[in-house]
Structure 1
Amino acid sequence: MHYRNREVEQVRKIAYDCDVLVIGGGIVGLSTAYAITRAAPGTRVTVLEKEAGPARHQTGRNSGVIHSGIYYRPGSLKARYAVEGAAEMVKFCAEYGIAHSVTGKLIVATEREELPRLHALVQRGRENGIPVRELGQAQITEYEPEVRGVAAIHVGTTGICDFVAVARQLGEASGAEIRYGARVVRIDRRPALGVAVRTADGTVLRARALVNCAGLHCDEVARLTGDEPGMRIVPFRGEYYTLARPELVRGLVYPVPDPAFPFLGVHLTRGIDGEVHIGPNAVPALAREGYGWGVVRPREVGETVAWPGSWRIARRHWRYGAGELRRSVSKRAFTQAVRRLLPQVRADDLVRAPAGVRAQAVLRDGTLVDDFLIRETARAVHVLNAPSPAATASLPIGREVARRALAVLDRD
């Protein structure tokens, strides 16, 4: 009892720089800061982001789609948070004047073999409370005159927005201190006393609780904290083109996805900027921020290769991966994939656009983690898997992470 009293007295004497320290200034980290200050006004929050501004990686390098939640297993965090988050995201954008639109989207079966999977999506959507309209071949052209398929479904709650603007607004509205250019290099956690974090420039910050929203680097941050996350981030690059003839596509058009993978396939997206974005594929990246084949970081490649789960993925899914690689190196092959949905498109219509990288958590046995993964340890909350639809679901994810972080403070 006396030892415990001494620990409590030590905590009281420490000059903390903040109550909660959030590592990562993407949309999930900034949403967490926003949720903490909304739930507990007066809580001091600091966000550390290694880049010069917010949302430079997954948040700012995607299709900008507000996902409905139709793809995700009923009862999963992805399903619950995407459905809640889509409605909240539209409301947030309207409140703050952020560019957005609820466009709806088509999911199109191009072959009869895909019809059972399309019908399964209809059932899943209904279980998740999402309005779905089934379309025959002739009805597809009512929405998209140039798109061809044997059947489709229309999902009315899907939309588009500017997620970078959302992230920036979340940071401003949170009232948190946001430090850019602050790369974390060391973490010293003492469960009885709190967490001390040192950045690359030598600055040391002390906090009562740590939140890890480091995205592509979340497993590395977990290990810096002293926690073994039981997974590794295996980066997959998604390559995009823009359509030189945007008049061919009115809105959002997706293929029927393969349920064995968390990727949605090459799709057509008219973004908030008016351009039609085509992609992404999914190929292994040679760096966590490897936005092109020329970006290679041997240490990171070595870590990926050393993780047993990486080899198990390769053995299990090599045929799928070979097709993705072929579309990466061959514009003709990529065009053929697009032509399944949009027969009029030609290779000359595709203009290379910036790529993104998906931070995919992989377990030791080669399982691709399919749901959001949030883990709590002493003085820390780690967000270990939050790829798409995390931007859509960022407000409910932020509330859940905030709840756990505030519980750490309540235990002091």
Structure 2
Amino acid sequence: MTQMRVAVIGGGIVGLSVARELLQRRPGAEVVVYEKEDEVAAHQTGRNSGVVHAGLYYEPGGLKATLCRRGVGLLHEFAQDKGVTYDECGKIVVAKDQLERERLQNIFERAVANGVPDVRLIGPDEITEIEPHAVGVAALHSPHTAIVDFKGIAKALAEDVTAGDGHLRLGTEVTSIEEARTGAGREAVIIRSRSAAGGSPEQIDIFDQVITCAGLQSDRLARTSGDSAFPKIVPFYGDYFMLSPEKAAQVRGLIYPVPDPRFPFLGVHITRRYDGEVMLGPNAFLSLGRELYRRAGLSPKDVFDVVRTPGFWKFAAKNVPAAVRETRTALSKKVFVDEANQYMPGIDPSEVTRGPRGVRAQAMYADGSLVDDFVITGSSRLVHVRNAPSPAATSALAIAEHIVSEALSR
């Protein structure tokens, strides 16, 4: 019997989880992971806040809620098995006024319906017992919300892939994917790739099945195989500021605001990291490059891709208040810090320093609406993960189960 050959494109946490799942489901299969960077987890996986989301916000019974809850358990077990830092530091979602208290009740009801363990509503006195420097009229407490080293998780996944006789092709950029018949009349998927460093000829490989998990480049890669232009990736950057060690010592876990339905993104929150540092952020502002992490320059290709998309302008017109808020946080360190001061007063701009930047692959439909759920397209032999939204890192191992089941059932 001919050995099954499967390619996974993308060396982030989702792609690596998919490759590992394939090797477990199909022993003896040849699994190849393509990653254009020289290391795994170079983009969204290695540049997020490190929060393991408990499943507070998601529609009960929906795919995001289901995969998040299963993903938390799988991630915790995997981290313990691999010796990767995982800390159930807990989280409070703080309501500043009566209106936010009412929204908090809705979040609480969703969390209970989703099976989030030991979640409860608390008052001002209990807020300060949990986070002595936080203030609010009420809060939701999720004691098992955790933080983890996601880059460490990705490296451990990569080790599992290679230990299972999978292959990692780092520094290899896929340029096109095409379904075709070989000379022997065999249905297959042809991948063309090249060294990301340049200087080497194009390489052609033939696979029985291909699964793309390309994150920030997911729409472009799908388009090379003739897939739909939408959903399209519109990149939004998120900046973080780091608290001074003295101020960071005042934070025990995670302190979040109540989501405001007027805004498409959550806004600035306070996050303890697995390494003990504490971050403020992120904000969310249109990025001038899909993989632009420095605070200068732009990618003309990426900017043109956004401005020629009618849906983006529809989105912008509907979200003027959000644009104003995010513009102010992008331009002013003081305004950024003041966002956090609403529920943890006393942070002075002099007590924070600029931290890392991440870029979020925000999928958008042609009408300008944001995609908030999983989008998987393609055919029986070619599966595109067009959108794996937050909490994708938390849910990665469960997402892999779902994607691999979907791919193999085709």
TM-score range, shorter chain: over 0.9
Equivalence for 1:166: 153
In the alignment, does 2:173 pair up with 1:187?
Answer: no
Amino acid at match of 2:248: P
Alpha-carbon distance in 2 for matches of 1:88, 1:104: 18
Alpha-carbon distance in 2 for matches of 1:155, 1:179: 40
Equivalence for 1:26: 12
Residues 263 and 319 in structure 2, CA contact (< 8 A), matched pair in contact too: no
In the alignment, does 2:134 pair up with 1:147?
Answer: yes
In the alignment, does 2:200 pair up with 1:200?
Answer: no
Residues 117 and 256 in structure 1, CA contact (< 8 A), matched pair in contact too: yes
Alpha-carbon distance in 2 for matches of 1:124, 1:384: 26
Amino acid at match of 1:143: I
**Displacement after TM superposition at 1:186 (Å):** 2.1
**Displacement after TM superposition at 1:263 (Å):** 2.7
**Higher deviation after alignment, 369-378 or 66-75:** 369-378
In the alignment, does 2:213 pair up with 1:213?
Answer: yes
SS in structure 1 at match of 2:271: strand
**Higher deviation after alignment, 300-309 or 139-148:** 300-309
Equivalence for 1:316: 318
- Which of 108, 120, 124 aligns to 1:133? It is 120
Superposition pairs for residues 223-372 of structure 1, below 5 Å?
223-244=223-244, 245-259=247-261, 261=263, 263-372=265-374
Deviations along 1:156-182, one digit per CA (max 9) or x if unpaired, are: 221011111111111211322011000
Alpha-carbon distance in 1 for matches of 2:98, 2:148: 33
**Higher deviation after alignment, 188-197 or 23-32:** 188-197
Equivalence for 2:198: none
Superposition pairs for residues 3-18 of structure 1, below 5 Å?
none
Residues 252 and 270 in structure 1, CA contact (< 8 A), matched pair in contact too: yes
**Higher deviation after alignment, 259-268 or 283-292:** 259-268
Listed as ranges, the gaps of 5+ residues in structure 1 are 1-11
Alpha-carbon distance in 2 for matches of 1:208, 1:36: 13
Residues 238 and 280 in structure 1, CA contact (< 8 A), matched pair in contact too: yes
Residues 280 and 337 in structure 2, CA contact (< 8 A), matched pair in contact too: no
Alpha-carbon distance in 1 for matches of 2:170, 2:24: 22
Alpha-carbon distance in 1 for matches of 2:369, 2:237: 18
Amino acid at match of 1:189: E
Question: Pairwise CA RMSD of aligned residues?
Answer: 1.6
**Displacement after TM superposition at 1:196 (Å):** 1.3
Deviations along 1:109-141, one digit per CA (max 9) or x if unpaired, are: 122221111111011111111131111111100
In the alignment, does 2:21 pair up with 1:35?
Answer: yes
Equivalence for 2:199: none
Residues 255 and 341 in structure 1, CA contact (< 8 A), matched pair in contact too: yes
Amino acid at match of 1:49: E
Alpha-carbon distance in 2 for matches of 1:290, 1:117: 35
SS in structure 2 at match of 1:326: helix
Deviations along 1:378-410, one digit per CA (max 9) or x if unpaired, are: 4211111123210000001111111223234xx
SS in structure 2 at match of 1:200: strand
SS in structure 1 at match of 2:393: coil
Amino acid at match of 2:109: Q
Residues 268 and 282 in structure 2, CA contact (< 8 A), matched pair in contact too: yes
In the alignment, does 2:87 pair up with 1:97?
Answer: no
Amino acid at match of 1:220: R
**Displacement after TM superposition at 1:229 (Å):** 4.7
| TM-score (normalizing by structure 2) | 0.93
**Displacement after TM superposition at 1:185 (Å):** 1.3
Amino acid at match of 1:65: V
Residues 371 and 385 in structure 1, CA contact (< 8 A), matched pair in contact too: yes
Residues 34 and 172 in structure 2, CA contact (< 8 A), matched pair in contact too: yes
**Higher deviation after alignment, 22-31 or 304-313:** 304-313
| TM-score (normalizing by structure 1) | 0.92
Alpha-carbon distance in 1 for matches of 2:26, 2:175: 29
Deviations along 1:4-26, one digit per CA (max 9) or x if unpaired, are: xxxxxxxx9xx98x611111000
**Higher deviation after alignment, 185-194 or 44-53:** 185-194
Identity %, equivalent residues: 43
Residues 262 and 370 in structure 1, CA contact (< 8 A), matched pair in contact too: no
**Displacement after TM superposition at 1:325 (Å):** 1.3
In the alignment, does 2:79 pair up with 1:77?
Answer: no
Alpha-carbon distance in 2 for matches of 1:171, 1:205: 21
Alpha-carbon distance in 2 for matches of 1:240, 1:352: 7
SS in structure 2 at match of 1:140: helix
Listed as ranges, the gaps of 5+ residues in structure 2 are 196-201
Deviations along 1:287-312, one digit per CA (max 9) or x if unpaired, are: 11122441311111111111121011
Alpha-carbon distance in 2 for matches of 1:240, 1:361: 22
Residues 109 and 150 in structure 1, CA contact (< 8 A), matched pair in contact too: yes
**Displacement after TM superposition at 1:74 (Å):** 1.3
